[in-house]
Structure 1
Amino acid sequence: MALLCLGLCGTAAAQGIGGRLGNMTNGGGLANNPFSHRGGEGKDSLSRPHKHVEENITIHYQYLDDVKTYSLDTSINDFYRYIPLKDHDAYLGNLGTPTRSLIYEPSLQPGWDPGFHAFDDYRLTLDRTPFYETTRPYTVLEYLIGAKQEQMIDVFHTQNPRDNFNFGFHYRKINAPGYFRNQNTNDDSYNVFLHYNTRNKRYNLYASFISNKLNTGENGGIRNDSLLTDPDFTDRRTIPTNLGGDDPSPVGFFSTPIATKSAFKETGFLFRQQYDWGKGDTLQINDTTRKYIFNPVFRVEHTLRTGKIAATYSDSISGETPDYYLFKYDLDNLDGGKVLAEHNWTYFSNDLSVMQFPVRGNLAHFLKAGASYETVRGQFLYNSLSFSNILGHFEYHNTTKNRKWELDALGQLYLAGNNFGDYHISGSLSRYLNDKLGDVKVAFGNVNQTPSFVYRFFQSNRFLSLNTDLKKSNTTLLQFIADNQELKYHLAVNYYLLTNYTYFKSFLESGQYSTAFNLLQVLFSKQFTLGHFNWYVDLAYQQTDGAAPLHVPNFWTRNRFTFEGTFFKNLILCTGVELRYNTAYYADDYSPVLQQFVSQRVEKIGNDYPDVGAFIHFRIKTFTAFVRAENLNAFVGRNIIQIPHYPYPDFAFRVGLKWGYIN
């Protein structure tokens, strides 16, 4: 079932809804994790027994363009830290299939975008590559297995051969045949990274390579939801589906031939160099030890990015399901032939930036300005195109030395090229009040962006989707955040104003809603504790214009009721039940050929009962195990459905193991 990579990266997000806005901007941008804990910064120590002497490891990491330092997350009370799905995701019913968020998460990044984001949750990316520093080599092996031969493997390693050089790699594999016919998934993701700085601390080099090969069978959903309660179809793989034929696909762990499938493939390479001017100094640690430190005043930074992205749909047995293509795509003459779509993109960008650090010794106080030049080439079935862009950007960040105030300002503007006129401006001000009152933050952002390319052009061997009338879309966000560790709550209030909202209005045609509309979003998390008993509650309230094509549930919640504690000195235990529920709404449908979610106003999707699971998680030193009974609601009613005609699995067990090795 599962490659558990997110646990290694040790997301510094808070539990539950925490981290939900973290992907909205790059570091220093509009909405860094609104529920991030101040305690998430700094170092974390792991230990192992060795010849009756306790050996310790100190390990922490940073992301590019992020001033914060994070420690590994070793908590065990939230399973969604260990699989590449979020607690608020809706998906097609199998691990590795396309996902969309039940909590609105807009893309606030201007510029070129191919538009294929259905598999984003499973990708390892250049922007979110962590760069580590560790006192000992550290390896993590994870394995998770579930019903119907679901498996996930995760391997992670990092080490510092020298104190100024770190490298590591991360590999994840997902293979899940699924409960229903023709929904096999077979994913492989890689990330190799390194960081080097010279002894005099003036030169830094960062390099990262990623590769994602994500393959999923497309079944178009089941033909009739009523079959879920038909006693003749207790074996879910016998329920007829809209795509993929009537014969279940063969299953293989390392290679799985799939007749009707989508594929998303990506490779990327990032290379960043920095050279600093400033002043060095020697810090006396003790009578015999000194440490050399360097305080930069001025920095020159060069960043190179290059990569390829390919999104493919292929159905070699389309003649077995002609009614589906006729009804959804208006194709009435398939003749048993193949349906094929291929979009291949290659990009290359160069960025040169300069930075100034006004206050000696405070690297979190800087002014940065630079320019980028990028070239993009798209290759499709019958034609190709290429274009370039010139981008200017600036950033000001100031975290005071007492860490009580934090000011951020960011600007990006496309000065020339295909995306001329795209821009992003944002600013935020946060204040740490005290331990009892916590942190508060206010933020503003505005993004003007060219709609993703897939909205304007999509080509297959059977049809062409073309929309040349799309205008730039504009999104404004006003945000308030409160984060309190003492009272264990996290609150974010987001107000969005959207103009020229772009979406898919059918399985092959995009549209744009020119009328400006707003969306109010309130996200709240809190932990209640009574002895060993805990209640973790996550709530989301969303309200928008009913006429707009953006559809989200008005109310979503997740509740975890747990018994937790440390027993027998080394046993950390967390056991309990978990419930998730959202109100009914016009949930987006899914277009397999386009790999896109489609707005619809025909059928409201809702469930009369919550999605229920029970679990036992425990950790002994660096060994962690998970035993989970999921989808208990299947005993009392129909399968949960979050996307039209794509039911979730039946009752199932998942077992996960994770070993951390200090070498």
Structure 2
Amino acid sequence: MKVAHRKLLLSLALLWLTASGAQVVNPTLRQDDSFPQNNNFPNDPNRETRDVGQVITDPNLKITDYKIISHQRDTTFLDTTLTIEKEYRYNFLRQDDFELMPFANIGQPYNRLGADLRRVSPFPGIGASARDPNYIDREEVSYYNVATPTTDLFFKTTLEQGQLLDAMVTTNFSRRTNLSLAFKGFRSRGKYQQEEVTSGNFRATFNHQNKKGTYTMRAHIVAQDILAQENGGLANSEAQFESGDSDFTDRSRLDVRFNNVQNQRNGKRYYLDHSLKLLGKKSDSTVSSSGVYLGHQLTYETQWFQYNQNTNNTAYFGDAIFTPVKDQAYLKTFDNRLSLHWENKYLGKLGGFAQLFDYQYFFRSILITEEQTIPSNLSDSEVLTGAFWEKSFGPISLQAEGGLGLIGDLTDSYLNAHIRMPLGEKFSLDAGIHHSARKPNFNMLLYQSGYVNFNWDNSSSFENEQVQSLFGRLESDRFGTIEARLSTISNFSYFASSATAEQIGEGREREFIRPVQQSDQVSYLRLKYQKEFKFGSWALNNTVLYQEVDQSADVLNLPTLVTRNTLYFSSEVFKKAMYLQTGVTFKYFTSYYMDAYNPLMAEFYVQNQEKLGGFPMLDFFINARVQQTRIYLKAEHFNSFFSQNNFFAAPDYPYRDFVIRFGLVWNFFS
């Protein structure tokens, strides 16, 4: 781990010690338990004399007073229970990876088993999308409002040398002001040669509201560094892996394509979101928040992606312009959004906005060939305008936002609309529509590389991708949850090899990977069903995904069926001092033309030569909860002992063998 990463971890530890003073030992804290009296801001000498709207001593303080606020301002609370959903989220990403297929090593790319064609941002990104799962976007940052200083520690073992630690500490200086610091440090050497991954993700958040409630602000700083060795996959997977030869049970003995390659994705972001009430009454617990508000959001972000190779590999990527190869792409963006909205109980929240987006995507050279000239940058300013509306009609809530591009050619328009409503006493419905029309990622529009065939300028020839999506979610405690989504996309952009049949036969298809736009429309239907059946202390949790793609060419390849089924037992043990959960998870997806991986650009590309999948993955787990600590132990893919070696995450990239990993999540309340 880098020296800077160690300094950040030390800073987190010092802040936690400063904020908490002496650690208060709490009794076992369940979701309905209260903290001891006088534990509310214990280090605050003025806690008994605070003004109205500030924190005072509360003997009934509960875990629900420890709030987590999302970017979309949805509020949840710190959940210290142990559930099967926590088991699904106890992984490198800290989210359910049901629709993802991980590579052999922790922190490596994830192939997709499902797709969500909806666009979160109206603007393109830098690309290198295989690194997206470990890159924290603006919309993924959480903010906090906690009654006492709180710490969340996540630890899990990795493969061979290294560990995974995600530490967060947050404290409220008053009920209206919160600060949090977090750092996720990671290293895993892996079982195969040349696949070590290290990363560091630092986050700092701040949110504040003034005493009168007329000004609110939140901000964050995120700094990220993701560094990975790339081995290019197995050089002879059929003979050394699929054959099951006992000489290659030690995976470090298998031949790989590269031994001197790494890629790296870095980013820094500064974000500010604040609003001022211009007209209206005070906002507190007894007065309506009606009034006129002026809002401003500012985001400044720098990113770069780098590919390093000490000696070129012409047998894999074709002819090289120079040696060593060191490709570097940079993106700087400055996003300013100014909004004005009116809020009252009759209209809800109704407003409009204007947005200025400045971007500079660039390389440090201009490439001139006999066929074309590859410029060094794409830079310009985009201007958008739009409107938004939020309104609740009793239990029914509506949200809508749309934008239209006025200046620039990156974005044409977008629309998101959503409704939540109950259907009788047993069902609830979430439904909505999505539309977006924008250019694909920058690395598809312009790219420069030390390899001849990986240089292109599509900035004037590629059209806007147009996505339309209808989706709905019907939820019932008795019947389970079913989700449906129908999406269509025009000008679908993807990476694929343009190699001829002869070149593919010679094993040269990777030399000709380029971005492509599909002129015909692609339609995508997905149905996802979730239901848990309980039998006393036993439970069977089921998730099934069905997918169908209508396309003139195989450009969006997905498995028809993905299923995950967990049979588990839960019970209090040791006179209710511990809550225990143990079981087996079965995961399976049908075979399909799984996307292949290109380490040069950290992108997946479409291939239609080899079908992969159709193998089961069985995990055995034992989890326990003691007070606010959740302990996890898992035997991953234990059926690899007696199954065929046909488990791949991408062509030439196997899924991991049997491994036992453990760790914990620990919450402190001071």
Kept in 2: contact 1:409–1:428 (CA 8 A):
yes
Instruction: Judge conservation of contact 2:318–2:451 (CA < 8 Å) in 1.
Output: no
Matched, 1:213 2:225: yes
Does residue 524 (structure 1) correspond to residue 529 (structure 2)? The answer is yes
Conserved 8 A contact 1:615-1:627: yes
Instruction: Please give the alpha-carbon distance, in whole angstroms, between the structure 2 residues aligned to 1:530 and 1:102.
Output: 31
Aligned partners of 1:146 and 1:652 also within 8 Å? no
Counterpart AA for 2:420? S
Preserved contact between residue 377 and residue 385 of structure 1 (Cα < 8 Å)? yes
1:461 to 450, 465, 470: 450
Alignment-derived partner of residue 415 in structure 2: 425
Give 3-state SS (helix, strand or coil) of 1:357's partner. Answer: strand
CA 1:406–1:563 in 2, change beyond 3 Å: closer, same or farther? same
1:21 — aligned with what?
none
8 Å Cα contact 1:633-1:639 kept in structure 2? no
Supply the AA of the counterpart residue of 1:99: Y
SS in 2 for 1:181: coil
- CA–CA distance in 1 between the matches of 2:321 and 2:283? 76
Which residue does 1:566 correspond to in 2?
A: 572
Q: CA deviation at 1:106?
A: 1.9
The aligned counterpart of 1:594 is: 601
Cα distance between partner residues in 2 of 1:399 and 1:527: 31
Amino acid in structure 1 at the alignment position of 2:90: Y
CA distance in 2 between partners of 1:232 and 1:143 (Å): 34
How is 1:310-389 mapped onto 2 (pairs within 5 angstroms)? Answer: 310-318=304-312, 322=313, 325-326=314-315, 328-331=316-319, 337-359=323-345, 365-382=348-365, 383-389=376-382
Q: 1:451 to 1:147 in 2, by over 3 A?
A: closer
**Structure 1 position 471, deviation (Å):** 1.5
Query: Which of 379, 383, 393 does residue 390 from structure 1 map onto?
Result: 383
Is residue 599 of structure 2 the alignment partner of residue 603 of structure 1?
no
Equivalent positions of 1:45-444 (< 5 A) are 56-57=62-63, 58-66=65-73, 68-74=74-80, 75-78=82-85, 79-85=87-93, 86-108=97-119, 109-226=121-238, 227-228=240-241, 229-244=244-259, 259-276=260-277, 277-280=279-282, 295-318=289-312, 322=313, 325-326=314-315, 328-331=316-319, 337-359=323-345, 365-382=348-365, 383-400=376-393, 402=394, 404-419=395-410, 422-436=412-426, 438-444=427-433
Compute the displacement of 1:293 (Å).
Answer: 5.3
Residue-by-residue CA offset, 1:268-320 (whole Å, 9 max, x unaligned): 0101221113213776xxxxxxxx756242110011110101111111143xx
- For residues 82-106 of structure 1, give each alpha carbon's deviation from its aligned partner in whole angstroms, at most 9, with x where no partner exists: 3234232123321111223211122
Root mean square deviation, CA, Å: 2.5
> Structure 1 residues 450 and 147, CA, compared in 2 at 3 Å: closer, same or farther?
closer
Following the alignment from structure 1 to structure 2, what is the Cα–Cα distance between the partners of residues 332 and 169? 44
The change in CA–CA distance for 1:51 and 1:615 in structure 2 (over 3 A counts) is farther
- Out of 550, 554, 557, which is 2:560 matched to? 554
Q: CA contact under 8 A between 1:555 and 1:582: conserved in structure 2?
A: yes
The equivalent residue for 2:473 is 481
Residues 603/46 of structure 1: CA separation in 2 closer, same or farther (3 Å cut)? farther
The 1:498/1:572 distance shift into structure 2, 3 A limit, reads: same
Structure 1 residues 545 and 237: CA distance shift in structure 2, 3 A? same
Higher fraction of helix: 2
Distance in 2 (alpha carbons) for counterparts of 1:557 and 1:70:
28
Any unmatched runs of 5+ in structure 1? 4-42, 245-258, 284-291
Deviation sequence 1:233-252 (CA, Å, 0-9, x none): 111011010112xxxxxxxx
Q: Deviations over 1:641-660 (max 9, x none)?
A: 12111112211111102221
Q: TM-score, length-normalised on structure 2?
A: 0.83
**Relative to structure 1, is the Cα distance of residues 140 and 270 closer, same or farther in structure 2, using a 3 angstrom cutoff?**
same
State the 1:369 CA deviation: 1.1
For the residues of structure 1 that align with 2:293 and 2:447, how far apart are their CA atoms? Answer: 43
| Aligned-pair CA distance for 1:488 | 5.9
Contact kept in structure 2, 1:423 and 1:449, CA below 8 Å: yes
- CA separation of 1:458/1:47 partners in 2, compared to 1, >3 Å: closer, same or farther? farther
Q: Deviations over 1:554-573 (max 9, x none)?
A: 00011111101333223222
Query: 1:435/1:59 Cα in 2 relative to 1: closer, same or farther (>3 Å)?
Result: farther
- Note the residue ranges of structure 2 that are not aligned, 5 or more in a row: 6-29, 40-58, 366-375, 498-509
Counterpart amino acid of residue 349 in structure 2: F
Q: 1:197 to 1:220 in 2, by over 3 A?
A: same
CA separation in 2, counterparts of 1:462 and 1:273?
A: 46
SS in 2 for 1:549: coil
CA–CA separation in structure 1 for the residues paired with 2:293 and 2:577: 47
Give yes or no for contact 2:303–2:330 (8 Å, CA) kept in 1. yes
What is the CA-CA distance between 1:446 and the residue it aligns to? 1.7
The answer to whether the 8 Å contact 1:124/1:211 transfers is no
Counterpart secondary structure, 1:201: coil
Distance change >3 Å, CA 309–CA 282, structure 1 → 2: closer
Describe the superposition over 1:160-187 as per-residue Cα deviations: whole angstroms up to 9, x where unpaired: 1111100101110111101111110000
CA displacement 1:19-68 (0-9 Å, x = unmatched): xxxxxxxxxxxxxxxxxxxxxxxx966767899999754211222333x3
Task: Judge which range, 622-631 or 567-576, deviates more.
Answer: 567-576
Between the aligned residues of both structures, percent identity stands at: 23
User: What's 2:25 paired with?
Assistant: none
In the alignment, the residues of structure 2 paired with residue 394 and residue 281 of structure 1 have an alpha-carbon distance, to the nearest angstrom, of: 24
The one-letter amino acid paired with 2:528 is: L
Give the corresponding residue for 1:250. Answer: none
**What is the DSSP-based 3-state SS (H/G/I as helix, E as strand, rest coil) of the residue aligned with 1:295?**
coil
Q: CA deviation at 1:442?
A: 2.9
Structure 1 residue identity aligned to 2:228: T
1:489-508 deviation per Cα after TM superposition (whole angstroms, max 9, x unaligned): 11111111121111011243
Q: C-alpha distance in 2, partners of 1:317/1:662?
A: 53
Whether 1:650 and 2:657 are equivalent positions in the alignment is: yes
Question: Do 1:76 and 1:619's aligned partners in 2 also have CA atoms closer than 8 Å?
Answer: no
Contact 1:497 1:517 (8 Å CA) reproduced: yes
Q: Is the deviation greater in 273-282 or in 406-415?
A: 273-282
If you compute each CA radius of gyration, which structure gives the higher value, 1 or 2? 2
- Shift of residue 150, structure 1, vs aligned partner: 4.4
| Equivalent residues of 1:534, 1:561 under 8 A apart | yes
Structure 1 length as normaliser, TM-score?
0.83
Range with greater deviation from structure 2 (407-416 or 72-81): 72-81
Residue 630 (structure 1) aligns with: 636
Report if aligned partners of 2:559, 2:591 keep a CA contact under 8 Å in 1: yes
- Mean Cα deviation higher: 498-507 or 72-81: 72-81
Q: Does 1:533 align with 2:516?
A: no
Please say if residues 202 and 294 of structure 1, whose CA atoms lie closer than 8 Å, have aligned partners that are also in contact.
Answer: no
Q: Give the distance between the partners of 2:271 and 2:491, measured in 1 at CA.
A: 33
The CA distance in 2 between the partners of 1:635 and 1:425, in whole Å, is 50
Compared CA separation, residues 294 and 428, structure 1 to 2 (3 A): closer
Could you tell me how far 1:374 is from its partner in structure 2?
1.6
Structure 1 window deviating more from structure 2 (460-469 vs 498-507): it is: 460-469
Q: Once the 2 structures are TM-superposed, how far is the Cα of residue 619 of structure 1 from its aligned partner?
A: 0.7
Deviation at 1:373, TM superposition (A): 0.8
Letter in structure 2 aligned against 1:412: G
> Which residue of 2 is the match for residue 472 of structure 1?
464
* Closer/same/farther in 2, CA of residues 465 and 524 from structure 1, 3 Å limit: same
Distance change (3 Å), C-alpha of 1:193 and 1:488: farther
Amino acid across the alignment from 2:280:
G
Structure 1 letter corresponding to 2:556:
L
Q: Secondary structure, in 3 states, of the residue corresponding to 2:434?
A: strand
Tell me how far 1:225 sits from its aligned partner: 2.1
Report if aligned partners of 2:578, 2:624 keep a CA contact under 8 Å in 1.
yes
**Contact in 1 for aligned 2:105/2:159 (Cα 8 Å):** no
Looking at structure 1, the residues matched to 545 and 144 of structure 2 have their Cα atoms a distance apart, in angstroms, of 34
The whole-number CA distance in structure 1 between the counterparts of 2:163 and 2:361 is 35
Change in 2 beyond 3 A, CA 1:346/1:146: closer
1:127 alignment partner, SS class: helix
